[in-house]
Structure 1
Amino acid sequence: MTSTMEENQNFDSDLWRKWSREELDYQYSPSRWSKQGTPEQVINHHVKWTAEESKKVRDNIECELNISYGLTNGQKMDIFGANTLPGEAPIFVFIHGGYWQAMSKDDHSYVAHPLTKAGAVTILLEYTLAPKANIETIVAEVQQGMKFILNMAKRRQSRGVYLCGHSAGGQLAAMLLSVDWMSECMVSNSVIKGAILISGVFDLRPLVPSPINDPLKMTETSSWENSPMKVMGDIINRSKNRKIILAVAEDDPKEFHRQTHQAFQVLMATDITTDCVISPGVDHFGIVEKLLYEDFHLTQMAVEMMNLNIAEIDKQMQKTAV
């Protein structure tokens, strides 16, 4: 079951400006809000679980690993199911979180399990992490990766591309919704048909005074320039025929609820097809871990958005990774 975010919640969008560095760190540290243990226990479990489950998926689903889309070592992607699913199959792109400075695509291969089974080519998109890259570089890299994917979709005659991002990946996926892809790579904006933004950060400015920003070195100007809330007008203009789902975990920090609600309110005031859900009984880490499971509501939303059904597909899918 899911809970729809109440439309009448009142959030002070500038309250963060009154907080100390320590309070900001608390408000934006999801591990400190989890009910699953101490912050250290929660993070250690998440790192171990994602690594183990992702390896199982890479070992059992046809995939091409570490495909380069740019010149730096961080500009890589893993592609699941492209050689066994039909060309017209939808393409599902997942962008991981970690505050642009931790985790990797390798930790999130498990996302591909139910989606390839349903019939979607699934791509895990990587980018250079801070401090090697700043936020401008990271956003530009992900945009370059998206050009690669859109050209791939065009070659395959895919019936649509769908974006999904978790946490920092939610910010990156949202920024991709603002781009005029026809101008960038001669691919129609209508190829991107939907997005699921999970526990995203849509206004980066509150992070600037916090310890989270130490490796990123964002200024208030650079943080705002790379905030989805800044380009919401472009997102709306490019997304007339897209469905955008925003999701947040019940046990996410209040600031993640506020940011998700704020973005949803802007989208809801337009003719964009949008929805906002709270995942009950999970924290910031559990909400993304559950994408492994076919019966999780966000997995089901993704499959429904792509007009697919969870079912066993060709036995070709059950082969060792290459």
Structure 2
Amino acid sequence: MESIADGIAMSVIMDSSDLEREYSPSQWSTRFATSQEVLQNHVQLVTADSPILVYVHGGYWQELNREISRYPAGPLYRARVKTMVVGYDLCPSATLPEIVQQIQNAARFVFEYADKMGSRGVYFAGHSAGAHLVAKLLSDADFLDNTPGSNHLQGAFLVSGIYDLRELVLTSVNDAVQLPAEWAVPLSPQFDCYTHLQARRVRLYILAGQNDSPVFKKQSREFYELLLNTCLTANMYLEIKDDVDHFDIVECFANDDNYLKNLLVHDIRKHL
């Protein structure tokens, strides 16, 4: 007489092929001829092709970190944009030239990754000191010309940035940065050359808050004028955002409906 256990075992054995199919979701899709095509399409969609935003945090090169600067990731993910938040060593443990080099190393990784994955485009965004670091990255023609994947560069969003360091070295900010006065001009984006961006047709958005300090608004305007006059292109944009300050101008990035994300998505839809 067959036991209940034997019956269950026989049922499992007899139905194993059906169970295998039940637990293979790719076999149930009707979009492709084979399950392998289903899987390949899914992998491609979630790992490749998507535009990438690289976010560099501020903090006067001496505060904040990548872990607490991930707030743009969620809204951008839901807009099908990958986000990479870049961290860097902080002053005084690192010098400002070393931090500039770290951002360049991170950008090299991102460009090579974008090339490997077939990304439609790479964008950078930086806030405050992060905007300074992104601007320094973009000013290096040799780096862009000699880095595989840099052709994926599409644009950058420089938010409430500091572009001229000459006065900054006279403030308490320099207690940790320890920047010698003679380094202020070489490390200031305001005195760099950006003519090479014209051929690349890179779009640059220079943003500041209405309630930023006068010097931050002044430096944003002056940097915009430098770009406009040297790049000789219409791909440069300046906006002083109403009713926001130095901080909530990027804090909004954490919301699904925010102007930074909408600006990025608009650029992607228009140009990619």
In the superposition, the TM-score normalised over structure 2's length comes to 0.78
Among candidates 165, 168, 176, match of residue 215 of structure 1: 176
Aligned pairs for 1:98-137 (under 5 A) are 98-137=59-98
Q: Which amino acid aligns with 2:218?
A: R
Q: Contact conserved, 2:51 with 2:81, CA < 8 A, in 1?
A: yes
TM-superposed CA distance for 1:230, in Å, is 1.8
CA radius of gyration, larger in: 2
TM-superposed CA distance for 1:222, in Å, is 1.4
Q: Contact conserved, 2:114 with 2:149, CA < 8 A, in 1?
A: no
Residue aligned with 2:103, SS: helix
Among candidates 283, 288, 295, match of residue 257 of structure 2: 295
TM-superposed CA distance for 1:86, in Å, is 4.2
Task: Say if 1:239 and 1:294 are closer, same or farther in 2 by CA, change over 3 A.
Answer: farther
Q: Which residue of 2 aligns with 1:237?
A: 196
Aligned pairs for 1:26-37 (under 5 A) are none
How far apart, CA to CA, are the structure 2 residues paired with 1:129 and 1:260? Answer: 24
Matched residues, number: 224
Q: Which residue of 1 aligns with 2:48?
A: 87
More helix by share: 2
How far apart, CA to CA, are the structure 2 residues paired with 1:280 and 1:107? Answer: 26
TM-superposed CA distance for 1:294, in Å, is 3.1
Q: Which residue of 2 aligns with 1:192?
A: 153
Aligned pairs for 1:157-172 (under 5 A) are 157-172=118-133
How far apart, CA to CA, are the structure 2 residues paired with 1:173 and 1:252? Answer: 20
Q: Which amino acid aligns with 1:283?
A: D
Task: Say if 1:299 and 1:94 are closer, same or farther in 2 by CA, change over 3 A.
Answer: same
Partner deviation per Cα, 1:252-310 (whole Å, 9 max, x = no partner): 000000000001112223215111111211111111101122332222111112228xx
Q: Which residue of 2 aligns with 1:250?
A: 210
Indicate the RMSD between aligned Cα atoms, in angstroms: 1.8
TM-superposed CA distance for 1:115, in Å, is 1.0
Residue aligned with 2:154, SS: strand
Structure 1: tracts of 5 or more residues without a match: 1-81, 309-322
Residue aligned with 2:132, SS: helix
Partner deviation per Cα, 1:207-229 (whole Å, 9 max, x = no partner): 11111001111122212211111
Task: Say if 1:272 and 1:227 are closer, same or farther in 2 by CA, change over 3 A.
Answer: farther
In the superposition, the TM-score normalised over structure 1's length comes to 0.66
Partner deviation per Cα, 1:119-167 (whole Å, 9 max, x = no partner): 1110000000001001100000110111011110110011110000000
Q: Contact conserved, 1:181 with 1:187, CA < 8 A, in 2?
A: no
Q: Contact conserved, 2:163 with 2:190, CA < 8 A, in 1?
A: yes
How far apart, CA to CA, are the structure 1 residues paired with 2:144 and 2:165? Answer: 27
Where does structure 1 differ by over 4 angstroms across 4 or more consecutive aligned residues?
Answer: none
**Structure of higher RCO (CA pairs closer than 8 Å, 6+ residues apart):** 1
Q: Which residue of 2 aligns with 1:225?
A: 186
